[in-house]
A = this chain, B = another copy of it.
Amino acid sequence: MNIELLKAYLEDDYSIVSATNGRDALDLVPEEKPDVILLDVMMPDLNGYQVCETLKGDPETQFIPVIMVTALSGRDDWISGIEAGADEFLTKPVNKMELLTRINSLLKLKKMHYDLLEERDKLNLQNKIRSVLTQIIPTLLRTLPAEQKSVVIHQMIDMVVESILENTDSGSRENGHEGIGDICCNIINQLGANFESGPGEEENTVFLIKGNVCPWGKEEAQLNPILCTISRGIFSRILDTYDQELEVEAIETMGNGDEQCLFQLNKIEY
């Protein structure tokens, strides 16, 4: 790889740091925190594959995009490069347009990825905090007189279910029993649950909905079993909307200490 030539291609748009052997390259990375790394396969000390493998094996550097520069016909080079974790390849002689395009698209992707990671971390943190806040609710509810408590719980469920239905896809909107179990699972799973719907085993039970991943987190549900009531409320509201001949019954919930959650969708008996 002709470092001077690459510098000439890149220096208008980027600041460049170079090393002429693999060992020096690895020493420079933590210092310089480059946005993209170009690696020639042929280097003294450590070759390009070894450097790439080291970078991709270190959590600190694994997300820095690596472009391997290989010989034009080097099928084996490509395979070794992929095995070493390279993100992109350029063949010699390096074409300027190709070089700029590869770098540009790797940077674009890296930025997109980091933006998303940052957003995810922020949302995760906000969730943790809100979940700490909601843990106070059962304590507060205990201080209310029984009838007022039930009004408040109903209000909460209504507000939460409203917000969930506004913010989720119900998927197919077929009428009748067909698919209603799947609609319930689809909506609750968008919250993070892993519920499945199957046919009921008793005469009156049209569907069984069960799962062992709680949409609220098992620990949170155990501290705050009102969340299980909300899950039930979600199903109940979905039935009101799509199938008024069924009602939901909570048989087991993890918030209640059961191994799994199990809800029955039963025919209403008049």
Contact = CB atoms under 8 A, between A and B. Distances in A.
A101 B78 CA distance: 8
Interface in A145-164: 148, 152, 155-156, 159-160, 163-164
A243 to B, nearest CB: 23
Contacts of A129: 160, 163-164, 191
A8 interface: no
A139 interface: yes
A123 interface: yes
Interface size bucket, A side? 35 or more
B133 A137 contact: yes
A21 B39 CA distance: 39
B105 A98 contact: no
Contact of A152 (B88, B136, B159, B167): B136
A98 B78 contact: yes
A131 interface: yes
A97 interface: yes
Contact of A130 (B78, B112, B121, B134): B134
Nearest to A168: B125
A133 B148 CA distance: 17
A109 interface: yes
A190 B122 contact: yes
A133 B156 contact: yes
Nearest to A216: B126
Interface in A92-117: 97-98, 101, 104-105, 109, 112-113, 116-117
Given A105-B87, A133-B137, A167 B113 contact: no
A132 B117 CA distance: 25
Contacts of A117: 116
A151 to B, nearest CB: 11
Contacts of A109: 109
A5 interface: no
Contacts of A122: 190-192
Interface of A: 75, 78-79, 82, 87-89, 97-98, 101, 104-105, 109, 112-113, 116-117, 119-137, 139-141, 143-144, 148, 152, 155-156, 159-160, 163-164, 167-168, 190-192
22 contacts: A82-B101, A88-B105, A89-B98, A113-B113, A120-B123, A123-B123, A125-B164, A125-B190, A125-B191, A126-B127, A127-B127, A128-B163, A130-B131, A132-B156, A132-B159, A133-B134, A133-B160, A135-B159, A136-B152, A137-B137, A140-B152, A143-B148
